[in-house]
A = this chain, B = another copy of it.
């Protein structure tokens, strides 16, 4: 799923560039996480919970994981003091999860380290190119840009 970056052959497809970029970014996240004994998934959970709490089922759905997998993930993070559980007062079946101060501290440290790790790559771009890339990725991700210049709707 990875194109050899060395061969300057014909022209690379957008798909290849996206896959290579993704493996690159994930590689950095994996390494950074490993330095703090966090898997990519734990990192992601912590990232999601850095500014909100969430119920087990919503987290699992958001991550595309089974609820039983979610239980295990939260178990281990809770054992380490990074996350905590709360019974939801509205619905006795629901369990809410949130980051502890230690968890928040860790995720913010990780975010800073991530920016630092990415710097060599992002600094290869001019500020204009960075903006352009950000906008193109948002478009790609379906996030409608601030100024909606939507053309006529289909049909």
A: which residues have CB within 8 A of B? 1-2, 5, 8, 11-15, 17-27, 29-31, 43-44, 46-48, 64, 107, 110-111, 114-115, 118, 121-122, 124-125, 129-130, 132-134, 136-144, 146
Chain B residues contacting A30 (CB-CB under 8 Å) are 64
18 more contacts with CB within 8 A, not counting A8-B146, A125-B136, are A1-B43, A5-B141, A12-B134, A12-B138, A14-B130, A15-B115, A15-B118, A17-B133, A17-B137, A17-B138, A18-B25, A18-B137, A21-B140, A22-B22, A26-B26, A125-B139, A125-B140, A129-B139
Chain A, interface SS category: helix
Would B18 and A1 count as touching, CB distance under 8 A?
no
**Distance from A137 Cβ to chain B, minimum over Cβ atoms (Å):** 4
* A44 and B137 contact, Cβ closer than 8 Å, known pairs A19-B29, A26-B22, A27-B64: no
Chain B residues contacting A31 (CB-CB under 8 Å) are 64
Chain B residues contacting A115 (CB-CB under 8 Å) are 15
What are 20 A-B interface contacts by the 8 Å CB criterion?
A: A1-B48, A1-B107, A2-B44, A5-B142, A11-B134, A14-B137, A18-B21, A20-B137, A20-B141, A21-B22, A22-B25, A22-B29, A26-B26, A121-B140, A122-B140, A124-B142, A129-B136, A133-B136, A133-B137, A136-B136
